[in-house]
């Protein structure tokens, strides 16, 4: 499709939207949304993920049908292998400062959380908590900012083998294997793990469904031993390919228009919501970093 | 099933407290008769009592019935299917007219009467935790049985490792379980694939699972009682590693005390790997066992700065106490997964004018090392092919490899044509040494690799660090066709060069066996068993097997006939694509892509086949052998017990 053609369609769609003619499918093509088949609570092929729901709301506002392009690959591959290969046009739930893509303004901000039983036996509110210092078994995933902190605390090595057991020792060297939040929460419930330290939106659903009451305490930002900043709060946005800024702008409009409805979805999910922070979303960039360092 | 005597001993590898370091109540200087007895039995050409054939691990037979002249008349004699389709490494054992065969998971064991292999005298099918399968890294192989001859009080035993981490001893006569030890725990990522090693009154076993945070460990158990006698870790404090004050006293430049911790950052040595799952050799005069420790963990080298001692190390340890006499680290701070566990072959040769007791070791990293096995002196470090490029040469003074940074693997560097690939120019095959010709027959994997690191960001500040690895035949092969990834060579340690070399279609993954008939036998991945003239490399005979080979041949005399036999059943690391039906070429660190072509030559199988001149067998000698006789049980019946 030529640039002119694309603009034409978008112009028509926008016009239709402005005229309040929702559901006018004559000129509006479906909105192709990349999504993982199996990445609850974010996304699932039955649409039950909370990101799936938010995407539908946005598409609806744009007068377009949400066409989910579900993939078997783990979600980490969506940008390089699908979005940037033109298999789809929209991705939800990326960091607002992800410079590989063109991001919208954030539609929510959340954080990592300390997750442990509400029983009151232990309390952890920050990295210096006395109870945390005594802990040895951490239900965590190896790809997050939790790693450098646990290394600094000299708890990483002793926990490594336990961590691998959470995925049945499946990860072979350079194979990415997703750590299932339900598994990690059940480890906390059973007491096999002293604590879980997970991305809040990823854990909220499982925490809510747990057999035992659990608390989620926001993990504060900190610094490493080498004085590097370690952030545990992140703003989440939607994204398009770097040069697809018109679509990105259209998403922005829809996100603003349906802000309240989207917040409801997040609240129902139990996502720990933080106030928005002035954040730099990626600007129009012509270079994309296709996933290689 | 009769009553079995069973000693169950839980051995938690992570129990760092109170490990007994020295042997319990072993009288100094006492030569266990069973140590001599096993040695003695190994000199008898009617036997094949240990995987390596003898303590020298030279895989060399004095038998001369089969010669370069008549080998073309070798024909199948009889065969046996293990009933399992997965890679069949190792080989059966032959003692006293009986053959003992085991296989990959579930590690069933069979005892066959060589007078009539139609008779399964006993079979043992261990019950194992099926979860062990998913923990195993590279196909559910087993490198074979070990044998203990017994000493009057204790019966002869057939000993096996189980994938789920147990060490099992069976009564060789009846197949009943004699003792069973829990050595490794799959719940923490540990498995066992190694062939256990019997020395004197001990059975020695290593570990598997390095990349899963398993800290390498070697343990010696009393073969009669199953009691632990000593245990040595591959990393950590000297007392865990059984490193004493005179460690490397002849070669202090290799490093001496405290390095199992100092060469790691923080406490990373605790999950440092260094598992040994390969082969041992033993010198009864020195009373030293020799083996190599494996690769450091994690695989990503940026996560473990330092030399990572003592992974990738050739060890000489006291068989009695486990104390390390010397340790030579071949690949400090490994970047390529060149696990150092390969075969150790012992020989006595005159090198540079001096008669020396050597150990010779073809390492994954493409170097053929020879050390003086009495003191650890580095005598030879020769490239097994001139295409080895990660190292320019080995400095013979310091023992250190002089690396070429262009062929390193680092997260900030993309490199092409690294030779050897991560699979190594040599892997777990047991090679052979002919003491008459003073030549080693080395099976080589001519495979190289490209390495492209990447960093993949994800939400919430997460990112995954990985590498795309492509593995393919080296420059002397045909990279496009995926062939020419194998070589077989005759190596002369005295000159450091090759007397002859031949290319093979696929990596010569399994081992070689040599005979005094001037023959060298080996199997190929695409399913040939071959015989070459060991003096020239000329191909003299071959047979197409039901499936490819990753094990090694054996040869033995029985009833006046020389048999050559081999396990067939492709699998193991080169076979992961075939065995697990994988299509992603980068899976298995590139193994799937490297061996894609293999599926056009062979499929899975599993069993053993014996050959003899003109296909001679108990059945050609007397066609009535194995026939059904209507009369009452014949006098050739042996006690039969099927045990579970």
Compute the distance between CA of residue A254 and CA of residue A115 in angstroms, rounded to an integer: 34
pLDDT (tens digit, 9 = 90+) per residue, A245-291? Answer: 999 999 999 999 999 999 999 999 999 999 887 654 454 433 333 33
- Closest-CA distance, A242 to chain B, in angstroms, reads 16
Name residues 323-362 of chain B within 8 A of A (Cβ). Answer: 337
Instruction: List Cα–Cα distances, B405 to B94, B123, B309, B335, in angstroms.
Output: 48, 53, 21, 11
pLDDT (tens digit, 9 = 90+) per residue, A202-219? Answer: 999 999 999 999 999 999
Whether the pLDDT of residue A112 is over 90: the answer is yes
Compute the distance between CA of residue A21 and CA of residue A29 in angstroms, rounded to an integer: 15
What is residue B544's DSSP assignment? Answer: E
- Closest-CA distance, B225 to chain A, in angstroms, reads 31
User: Do B25 and B224 contact (CB within 8 A), yes or no?
Assistant: no
Name residues 82-101 of chain A within 8 A of B (Cβ). Answer: 93-95, 98, 100
**A226–B contact, CB cutoff 8 A:** no
pLDDT (tens digit, 9 = 90+) per residue, B552-592? Answer: 999 999 999 999 999 999 998 888 888 888 888 877 778 88
Is A205 among the domain residues? yes
Whether the pLDDT of residue B156 is over 80: the answer is yes
What is the reported pLDDT for A110?
97
Q: Which residues, listed in sequence order, are joined to residue B464 by a DSSP beta bridge? A: B456
Looking up residue B373, the CATH number of its domain turns out to be 2.140.10.10
Chain B residues near residue A158 by CB distance under 8 angstroms: 267, 270
Compute the distance between CA of residue B597 and CA of residue B55 in angstroms, rounded to an integer: 37
Judgement on whether residues A53 and A149 belong to the same structural domain of the protein: no
Judgement on whether residues A207 and A167 belong to the same structural domain of the protein: yes
The residue to which tokens 């005295």 are assigned: B494
**B131–A contact, CB cutoff 8 A:** yes
Judgement on whether residues A146 and A88 belong to the same structural domain of the protein: no
Is B506 among the domain residues? no
Burial B170-199 (b: 16+ CB within 10 A, else e): bbbbbbbbbbbbebbbbbbbbbbbbbbbbb
- Taking an 8 Å cut-off on Cβ atoms, the answer to whether A293 and B462 are in contact is no
Chain B residues near residue A168 by CB distance under 8 angstroms: 131, 134-135
Judgement on whether residues A53 and A72 belong to the same structural domain of the protein: yes
- Taking an 8 Å cut-off on Cβ atoms, the answer to whether B214 and A100 are in contact is no
- Taking an 8 Å cut-off on Cβ atoms, the answer to whether B135 and A77 are in contact is no
Compute the distance between CA of residue B500 and CA of residue B272 in angstroms, rounded to an integer: 39
The whole-number average pLDDT for the span A73-82 is: 94
Find which of B215, B456, B468, B590 to mutate to test the A interface (most A CBs within 10 Å of its CB).
Answer: B456
Judgement on whether residues A121 and A102 belong to the same structural domain of the protein: no
Name the nearest CA neighbour of B571 among B84, B80, B88. Answer: B88
Is A281 among the domain residues? no
Which alpha helices (H) appear in A210-280, and where do they start and end?
245-257, 259-269
Q: Which sign, positive or negative, has the C-alpha torsion B312, B313, B318, B319?
A: positive
What is the reported pLDDT for B322?
98
Domain boundary among A207, A230, A253: A230
- Taking an 8 Å cut-off on Cβ atoms, the answer to whether B461 and A145 are in contact is yes
Is B514 among the domain residues? no
Whether the pLDDT of residue A13 is over 50: the answer is no
Judgement on whether residues A28 and A127 belong to the same structural domain of the protein: no
Encoding tokens for residue B541? 């005979």
Contacts by residues B5-8 (CB-CB < 8 Å, ≥ 24 positions apart): B5/B178, B5/B179, B6/B177, B6/B178, B6/B179, B6/B180, B7/B179, B7/B180, B7/B181, B7/B225, B7/B226, B7/B227, B8/B179, B8/B180, B8/B181, B8/B182
Number of domains comprising chain A: 2
User: Do B360 and B345 contact (CB within 8 A), yes or no?
Assistant: yes
- Closest-CA distance, B389 to chain A, in angstroms, reads 23
Judgement on whether residues A224 and A256 belong to the same structural domain of the protein: no
Is A69 among the domain residues? yes
Judgement on whether residues A144 and A88 belong to the same structural domain of the protein: no
- Taking an 8 Å cut-off on Cβ atoms, the answer to whether A172 and B211 are in contact is yes
The beta-carbon neighbor of B460 closest among A77, A95, A160 is A95
The residue to which tokens 């609850």 are assigned: A40
Judgement on whether residues A76 and A212 belong to the same structural domain of the protein: no
Strand B641-643 relative to strand B116-124, pairing: parallel
pLDDT (tens digit, 9 = 90+) per residue, A27-45? Answer: 589 999 999 999 999 999 9
**B633–A contact, CB cutoff 8 A:** no
Which alpha helices (H) appear in B121-269, and where do they start and end?
132-135, 238-241, 259-262
Is A60 among the domain residues? yes
For residue A162, give the chain B residue with the closest CA. B188
User: Do B110 and B100 contact (CB within 8 A), yes or no?
Assistant: yes
Chain A residues near residue B336 by CB distance under 8 angstroms: none
Is A144 among the domain residues? yes
What is the reported pLDDT for A279?
52
**Residues of B labelled as active-site residues:** 337
Is B363 among the domain residues? yes
- What is chain B's mean pLDDT, rounded? 91
Whether the pLDDT of residue B10 is over 70: the answer is no
- Closest-CA distance, B554 to chain A, in angstroms, reads 34
Domain around A200: 110-230
The whole-number average pLDDT for the span B481-488 is: 96
Chain B residues near residue A100 by CB distance under 8 angstroms: 457
Judgement on whether residues A102 and A246 belong to the same structural domain of the protein: yes
- Closest-CA distance, B130 to chain A, in angstroms, reads 13
The whole-number average pLDDT for the span B317-337 is: 97
Instruction: List Cα–Cα distances, B602 to A188, B91, B348, B485, B605, in angstroms.
Output: 48, 20, 40, 16, 9
For residue A176, give the chain B residue with the closest CA. B464
- Taking an 8 Å cut-off on Cβ atoms, the answer to whether A199 and B459 are in contact is yes
- Closest-CA distance, A95 to chain B, in angstroms, reads 5
Q: Which residues, listed in sequence order, are joined to residue B562 by a DSSP beta bridge? A: B557
Virtual torsion, Cα B431, B374, B327, B495, nearest 10 deg: -50
**B19–A contact, CB cutoff 8 A:** no
Number of domains comprising chain B: 1
Is A72 among the domain residues? yes
Chain B residues near residue A222 by CB distance under 8 angstroms: none
- Taking an 8 Å cut-off on Cβ atoms, the answer to whether A234 and B460 are in contact is yes
- Closest-CA distance, B244 to chain A, in angstroms, reads 26
What is the reported pLDDT for B26?
37
pLDDT (tens digit, 9 = 90+) per residue, B360-401? Answer: 999 999 999 999 999 999 999 999 999 999 999 999 999 999
Domain around B276: 201-408
Is A189 among the domain residues? yes
In which band, very low, low, confident or very high, does the pLDDT at A292 lie, cut at 50, 70 and 90? Answer: very low
- Taking an 8 Å cut-off on Cβ atoms, the answer to whether B266 and A145 are in contact is no
- Taking an 8 Å cut-off on Cβ atoms, the answer to whether B469 and A112 are in contact is no
- Closest-CA distance, B411 to chain A, in angstroms, reads 8
In which band, very low, low, confident or very high, does the pLDDT at B465 lie, cut at 50, 70 and 90? Answer: confident
Q: Give this prediction's pTM.
A: 0.87
Chain A residues near residue B460 by CB distance under 8 angstroms: 95, 112, 144, 199, 202, 234
CB pairs under 8 A between A and B: 101
The whole-number average pLDDT for the span A142-166 is: 92
- Taking an 8 Å cut-off on Cβ atoms, the answer to whether B588 and A172 are in contact is yes
Compute the distance between CA of residue B551 and CA of residue B607 in angstroms, rounded to an integer: 11
Chain A residues near residue B468 by CB distance under 8 angstroms: 174
10 Å CB burial of residue B308 (0-12, 13-18, 19+) is buried
Compute the distance between CA of residue B382 and CA of residue B393 in angstroms, rounded to an integer: 8
pLDDT (tens digit, 9 = 90+) per residue, B520-531? Answer: 999 999 999 999
Chain A residues near residue B467 by CB distance under 8 angstroms: 174
Judgement on whether residues A179 and A259 belong to the same structural domain of the protein: no
Chain B residues near residue A236 by CB distance under 8 angstroms: 459
Is B328 among the domain residues? yes
Q: Quick check: helix, strand or coil at residue A163?
A: helix
Is B398 among the domain residues? yes
- Taking an 8 Å cut-off on Cβ atoms, the answer to whether A170 and B461 are in contact is no
Element of type H or E holding B593: helix B591-594
Judgement on whether residues A101 and A132 belong to the same structural domain of the protein: no
Name the nearest CA neighbour of B22 among B373, B319, B375. Answer: B319
Is B231 among the domain residues? yes
- Taking an 8 Å cut-off on Cβ atoms, the answer to whether B299 and A157 are in contact is no
Chain B residues near residue A95 by CB distance under 8 angstroms: 457, 459-461
**B28–A contact, CB cutoff 8 A:** no
Encoding tokens for residue B487? 């070589």
- Taking an 8 Å cut-off on Cβ atoms, the answer to whether B456 and A94 are in contact is no
Is B455 among the domain residues? no
- Taking an 8 Å cut-off on Cβ atoms, the answer to whether B267 and A157 are in contact is yes
Whether the pLDDT of residue B291 is over 60: the answer is yes
Compute the distance between CA of residue A202 and CA of residue A186 in angstroms, rounded to an integer: 14
Is A66 among the domain residues? yes
Looking up residue A159, the CATH number of its domain turns out to be 3.40.190.10
Name the nearest CA neighbour of A53 among A275, A258, A282. Answer: A258
Is B507 among the domain residues? no
Find which of A96, A173, A200 to mutate to test the B interface (most B CBs within 10 Å of its CB).
Answer: A173
Beta carbons within 8 Å of B451's beta carbon, 6+ residues apart = B409, B413, B414, B415, B416, B418, B467, B468, B469
Name residues 390-449 of chain B within 8 A of A (Cβ). Answer: 411-412
- Closest-CA distance, B182 to chain A, in angstroms, reads 19
Q: Quick check: helix, strand or coil at residue A144?
A: coil
The beta-carbon neighbor of B454 closest among A141, A164, A293 is A293
């Amino acid at each position: 499709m030529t640039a002119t053609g694309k603009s034409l369609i978008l112009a028509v769609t926008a016009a239709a939207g402005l005229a309040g003619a929702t559901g006018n499918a004559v000129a509006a093509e479906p909105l192709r949304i990349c999504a993982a088949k199996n990445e609850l609570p974010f996304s699932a092929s039955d649409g039950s993920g909370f990101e799936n729901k938010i995407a539908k709301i946005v598409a609806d506002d744009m007068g377009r049908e949400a066409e989910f392009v579900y993939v078997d690959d783990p979600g980490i591959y969506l940008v390089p292998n699908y979005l940037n290969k033109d298999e789809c046009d929209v991705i939800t739930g990326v960091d607002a400062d992800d410079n590989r893509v063109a991001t919208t303004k954030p539609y929510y901000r959340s954080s990592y959380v300390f997750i442990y039983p509400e029983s009151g036996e232990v309390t952890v509110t920050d990295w210096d908590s006395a109870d945390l210092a005594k802990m040895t078994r951490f239900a965590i995933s190896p790809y997050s900012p939790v790693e450098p902190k646990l290394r600094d605390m000299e708890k990483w090595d002793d926990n490594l083998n336990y961590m691998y057991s959470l995925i049945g020792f499946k990860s072979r060297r350079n194979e990415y294997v997703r750590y299932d939040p339900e598994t990690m929460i059940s480890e906390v419930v059973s007491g096999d793990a002293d604590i879980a330290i997970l991305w809040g939106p990823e854990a909220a659903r499982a925490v809510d469904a747990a057999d035992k009451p659990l608390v989620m305490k926001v993990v504060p930002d900190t610094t490493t031993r080498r004085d590097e900043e370690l952030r545990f709060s992140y703003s989440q946005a939607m994204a398009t390919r770097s040069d697809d800024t018109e679509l990105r702008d259209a998403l922005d409009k829809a996100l603003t228009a349906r802000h309240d409805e989207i917040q409801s979805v997040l609240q129902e999910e139990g996502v720990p919501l933080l106030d928005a922070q002035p954040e730099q979303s990626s600007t129009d960039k012509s270079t994309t970093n296709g996933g290689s360092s | 099933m009769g009553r079995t005597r069973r000693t169950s001993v839980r051995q938690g590898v992570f129990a760092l407290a109170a490990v007994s370091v020295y042997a319990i109540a072993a009288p100094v200087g006492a030569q266990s008769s069973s140590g001599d007895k096993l040695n003695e039995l190994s000199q008898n050409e009617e036997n094949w009592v240990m995987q390596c054939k003898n303590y020298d691990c030279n895989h060399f037979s004095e038998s001369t019935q089969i010669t370069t002249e008549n080998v073309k008349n070798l024909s199948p004699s009889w065969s046996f299917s293990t009933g399992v389709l997965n890679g069949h490494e190792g080989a059966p054992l032959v003692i006293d007219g009986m053959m003992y065969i085991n296989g990959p998971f579930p590690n069933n064991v069979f005892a066959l009467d060589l007078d009539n292999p139609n008779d399964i005298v006993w079979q043992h099918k261990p019950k194992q935790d099926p979860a062990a399968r998913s923990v195993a890294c590279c196909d559910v192989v087993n490198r074979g049985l070990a044998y203990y001859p017994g000493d009057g009080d204790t019966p002869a035993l057939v000993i096996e490792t189980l994938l789920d981490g147990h060490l099992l001893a069976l009564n060789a006569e009846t197949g009943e379980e004699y003792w069973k030890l829990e050595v490794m725990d799959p719940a923490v990522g540990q498995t066992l694939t190694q062939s256990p090693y019997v020395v004197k009154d001990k059975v020695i076993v290593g570990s598997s699972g390095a990349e899963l945070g398993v800290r390498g460990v070697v343990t010696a158990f009393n073969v009669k009682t199953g009691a632990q006698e000593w245990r040595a870790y591959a990393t950590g404090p000297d007392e865990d590693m059984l490193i004493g004050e005179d460690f490397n006293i002849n070669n202090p430049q290799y490093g001496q005390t405290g390095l199992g911790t100092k060469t790691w950052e923080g406490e990373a040595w605790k999950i440092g790997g260094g598992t040994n799952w390969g082969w041992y050799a033993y010198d009864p005069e020195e009373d030293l066992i020799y083996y190599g420790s494996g690769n450091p963990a994690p695989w990503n080298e940026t996560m473990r700065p330092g030399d990572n001692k003592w992974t990738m190390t050739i060890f000489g340890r006291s068989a009695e106490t486990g104390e390390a006499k010397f340790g030579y680290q071949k690949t400090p701070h490994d970047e390529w997964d060149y696990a150092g566990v390969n075969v150790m072959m012992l020989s006595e040769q005159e090198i540079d004018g001096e008669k020396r007791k050597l150990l010779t070791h073809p390492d994954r990293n493409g170097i053929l090392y020879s050390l003086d096995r009495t003191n650890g002196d580095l005598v030879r470090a020769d490239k097994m092919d001139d295409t080895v490029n990660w190292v320019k040469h080995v400095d013979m003074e310091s023992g250190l490899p002089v690396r070429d940074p262009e062929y390193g693997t680092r997260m900030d560097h993309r490199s092409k044509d690294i030779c050897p690939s991560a699979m190594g120019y040599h892997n777990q095959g047991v090679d052979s040494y002919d003491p008459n010709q003073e030549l080693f027959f080395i099976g080589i994997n001519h495979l190289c690799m490209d390495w492209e690191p990447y960093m993949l960001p994800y939400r919430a500040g997460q990112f995954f660090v990985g590498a795309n690895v492509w593995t393919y035949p080296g420059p002397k092969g045909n990279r496009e066709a995926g062939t020419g990834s194998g070589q077989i060579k005759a190596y002369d340690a005295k000159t450091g060069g090759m007397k002859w070399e031949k290319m093979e279609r696929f990596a010569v993954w399994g081992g070689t066996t040599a005979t005094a008939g001037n023959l060298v036998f080996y199997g190929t991945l695409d399913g040939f068993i071959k015989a070459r003239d060991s003096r020239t490399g000329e191909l003299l005979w071959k047979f197409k097997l039901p499936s490819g080979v990753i094990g090694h041949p054996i040869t033995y005399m029985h009833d006046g006939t020389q048999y050559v036999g081999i396990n067939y059943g492709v699998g193991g690391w080169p076979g992961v694509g075939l065995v697990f039906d994988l299509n992603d070429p980068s899976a298995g660190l590139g193994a799937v892509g490297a061996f894609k072509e293999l599926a056009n030559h062979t499929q899975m199988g599993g069993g053993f086949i014996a050959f003899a001149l003109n296909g001679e067998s108990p059945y050609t000698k007397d066609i009535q052998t194995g026939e059904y006789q209507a009369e009452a049980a014949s006098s050739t019946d042996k006690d039969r017990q099927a045990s579970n």
